Amino acid sequence: MRRLIQDTPRQALDEFGFAEAIETLANSYPDFEVVVEDRTDDADPALAPARALAVLRIMQEAINNAWKHSGVTTCELRLASIGGDLVVVIRDRGDGFNTAAHSNGFGLGGMRERARIIGGRLELFSTLGEGTLVRLLVPIGPVA
């Protein structure tokens, strides 16, 4: 199941583009709804392929974390183009967690590293009992 979820959005990205890959990702989680709001004004053609794949993988990890750990059956995915940046927000209103606590996993660190490599910034906000919000800001255009 994990391999299917991981590979399907990339295939959609390669074949149909960024918007279709997001829809494929959103629909790939069993018994979990990802509500997508896209206000990018068709910005994805300007998103460099390396950035598009990294953004997709970061979104995938954030949604996967919500699916596995939030204790809820839905999360929100919002995309917007603001001031030359693609802004991605993934939010669940679930259990939340202590962001200062050490984690043995590679998920959050990997997300931050992917964001850094493509010139972006990842921000994480979580409150116990209120949920988690992941915000990714990535420049639109060629990778420097």
- Residues forming beta bridges with residue 125, ordered by sequence position: 133
How deeply is 79 buried, as exposed, middle or buried, from its count of CB atoms within 10 A (0-12, 13-18, 19+)?
A: buried
Kindly report the pTM of this predicted structure: 0.88
Q: What is the pLDDT of residues 82-92, one digit of tens each?
A: 888 999 999 99
Is the separation of the CB atoms in 24 and 119 below 8 Å? no
Round the average pLDDT of the chain to a whole number and report it: 87
Ramachandran area for residue 71 (φ above 0: left; ψ -120 to 50: alpha; else beta): left
H helix or E strand, kind and range, residue 126? strand 121-127
Structure token pair of residue 132: 């988690």
Q: What is the pLDDT of residues 53-107, one digit of tens each?
A: 999 999 999 999 999 999 999 999 999 988 889 999 999 999 999 988 867 667 8
What is the number of residues in the chain? 144
CATH class entry, domain 2-139: alpha beta
